[in-house]
Amino acid sequence: MPPSRPTTTDPSAPPAVRATHLTVHRGHRPVLDDLAFTVPTGRVTGLLGPSGCGKSTLMRAVVGTQRAVTGELTVLGAPAGTPALRSRVGYVTQAPSVYDDLSVRQNLAHFAAVLDPGRRAAPRRTAAVDDALEAVDLAAHADARAGALSGGQRSRVSLAVALLGSPELLVLDEPTVGLDPVLRRELWALFHRLARESGTSLLISSHVMDEAERCDHLLLLRAGTLLAAGTPDDLRTRTATDSVEAAFLALVDTAAAPGDSAAQENR
């Protein structure tokens, strides 16, 4: 596990991410439109919504790689994209890349050297690689060629890469897509362990609504707007439904009044 930091479950603690009037344009079209939300510290936050609703765009804005972002977006107390945040935020993209011809350990050693270069940092890098391998339960496969791993094992290698700098915030874009239910359950258990034991804040996207039930906090996105935010319990109670999926659909129905341009656009 990465070195532990004090875990924060105090709801009044400053959030890991705070957005106000967050807007992203692509061409003349806003693909994120005036969003206001927070991502609580030390919790697993799910970013849920259908394909094309803007999840990846929002995540890129948080990690500072998205262009044409306006509004305010504060990450770990600093403006998103500030160079000092680079080592404090781990990011796994939707199509993560690992080198198939290298072993798991060699992949991690490569990325560790990029993060923490220099000969004198070598012992620190070895320790970081060992910790990351252990965190994702891949120590037994450290010498396997990445190209010979299963899909779930490869996802865990990408996650291990993101853990190398012991980030305070982990941003994971659809990390469980295409995985079987057992692996998905294992990964969600790992996410919660990171939050609980290391105080890491996690922002995880998915378009699979049953994964929402596994999150501490949810942001429900649709066609670039925030439909709702809260705990799964909050959302179910607010909509008098018994699942987050049903809550999402109820919220869509409420929001999709005639003339709703977001609803029209999505058809």
Ligand X SMILES: Nc1ncnc2c1ncn2[C@@H]1O[C@H](COP(=O)(O)OP(=O)(O)OP(=O)(O)O)[C@@H](O)[C@H]1O
CB of 143 to ligand X, least distance (A): 33
Residue 31 is a binding residue for ligand X (CB under 6 A): yes
Pattern 148-187, ligand X, x by CB under 6 A = ----------------------------------------
53 touches ligand X by CB under 6 A? yes
Chosen residue from 207, 216, 255, 263 binding ligand X by CB under 6 A: 207
One of 6, 12, 51, 233 touching ligand X (CB under 6 A): 51
Minimum CB distance to ligand X, residue 125 (Å) = 32
Per-residue 3-state assignment (H helix, E strand, C coil) for the chain: CCCCCCCCCCCCCCCCEEEEEEEEEECCEEEEEEEEEEECCCCEEEEECCCCCCHHHHHHHHHCCCCCEEEEEEECCEECCCHHHCCCEEEECCCCCCCCCCEHHHHHHHHHHHHCCCHHHHHHHHHHHHHHHHHCCCHHHCCCEHHHCCHHHHHHHHHHHHHCCCCCEEEECCCCCCCCHHHHHHHHHHHHHHHHHHCCEEEEEECCHHHHCCCCEEEEEECCEEEEEECHHHHHHHHCCCCHHHHHHHHHHHHCCCCCHHHHHCC
Q: Closer CB to ligand X, residue 94 or residue 150?
A: 94
Contact with ligand X (CB under 6 A): which of 2, 15, 42, 54? 54
The option from ligand X, Mg ion, none interacting with 46 (CB < 5 to 8 A, set by class) reads none
Nearer to ligand X, 17 or 128 (CB): 17
Q: Which of ligand X, Mg ion, none does residue 57 bind (CB under 5 to 8 Å by kind)?
A: ligand X
Q: For residues 60 and 156, which CB has a smaller minimum distance to ligand X in the complex?
A: 60
Q: How far is the CB of 55 from Mg ion (least distance, A)?
A: 5
Would you tell me which residues interact with ligand X (CB under 6 A)? Answer: 26-27, 31, 49, 51-57, 94, 207
